[in-house]
Structure 1
Amino acid sequence: MQLLVLRLDYRSSAIIEHLQRQLRQPNVNTALQLPHIPLLAFEQTAPLQLKAALEPIAESTQAIAFHASDIGFSKNGERFYLQVQPNGALDELYNSLKLAGRGFQFGPELHWPLRIPLINKVPAPFWGPLFARLALEFNPLSGTGAALECWSVIGDRTTIEWSIFLDS
């Protein structure tokens, strides 16, 4: 599966990585995902063909501001996330990418409005304590989406296929 993501600016990424480390359980070996906003998923798609189709959009897009002020939790996947407040620029980018990617096989529908994943596969006994900890640690976050990336995801392994930095 290819996952199209919006990678976040350095400052926002550092804050999110700090939150991820606070939530991480001891004795867990799985790597944390790089801070990002998932946009679209594709199945059986050649990453370079996808890049060719989406590159004109990414190259003409300015860095996109985002704001996250709410913490979310989903029992499906046992995951914590930050809820990104919708805005016109994010909506326009998403719709443009979806239209440009219509010639490819879309994968599972991702969550909309957008989310910034923090941590997955949290065991049930830790849900309440981790949510309380996150509520104490998290302050509303504003930042920018700095790059469009394509990730190939196989099982728990993620490989970055390509990145296109957005104009600042």
Structure 2
Amino acid sequence: MQLLVLRLDYRSSKMIESLQRQLRQPNSKLALQLPHVPLLAYENTDPLHLKAALEPIAKNIEPPSFHASNIGFSKEGARFYLQVLPNETLNELYSSLKLAAHEFPNGANAQWQPHIPLIDNVPAPFWGPLFARLALEFNPLEGTGAALECWSVIGNRTTIEWSLFLES
């Protein structure tokens, strides 16, 4: 599976990485995810063909800003995340990317919910304590998208296939 993500600016990435380290279980062997907003997922797609279709958008779009002020939790995947309030530039980027890559097999959800994953596979006994800790540690976050990246995900292994940096 190929996952198209919006990588975040350095300042907001450092803040998210700090939160991730605080939430990480001491015996966890899984690597922390790089700070990102998931955009679209593709099945059996050549990353270089996808890059060719999306590169013109990355060159011509304003880097989107984002605001995250709420904590979210999903029982599916036992995942904590930050909810991103979609603004016009972020919605425009998502729509443009979806339209430009319409010919690729897409595993997109019916309704896109922008978010920043923090940690997943959290054992049930830790849900409450981690949520309480996150509520104490997290302050609203403002940032900017810095790059579009294509990740290939196989099992628990993620490989970055390419990056397209967004220029202001």
Partner of 1:60: 60
| Structure 1 spans left out of the alignment, 5+ residues | none
1:12-61 Cα shifts (integer Å, max 9, x gaps): 00000000000000111100110000000000000000000000001111
Partner of 1:3: 3
**1:70 is paired with a residue of what secondary structure?**
strand
**2:56 is paired with a residue of what secondary structure?**
helix
Change (3 A) 1:22 1:82: same
Give the Å deviation of 1:111.
Answer: 6.2
**2:158 is paired with a residue of what secondary structure?**
strand
Partner of 1:135: 135
**1:19 is paired with a residue of what secondary structure?**
helix
Partner of 1:47: 47
Give the Å deviation of 1:8.
Answer: 0.1
User: May I ask how many residue pairs the two structures share in their alignment?
Assistant: 168
Give the Å deviation of 1:154.
Answer: 0.3
Change (3 A) 1:21 1:6: same
Partner of 1:22: 22
1:147-167 Cα shifts (integer Å, max 9, x gaps): 000000000000000000001
Give the Å deviation of 1:112.
Answer: 2.3
Partner of 2:157: 157
Partner of 1:145: 145
Change (3 A) 1:75 1:4: same
TM (norm. structure 2) is 0.98
| Structure 2 spans left out of the alignment, 5+ residues | none
Hey, which bits of structure 1, 4+ residues long, moved more than 4 A? none
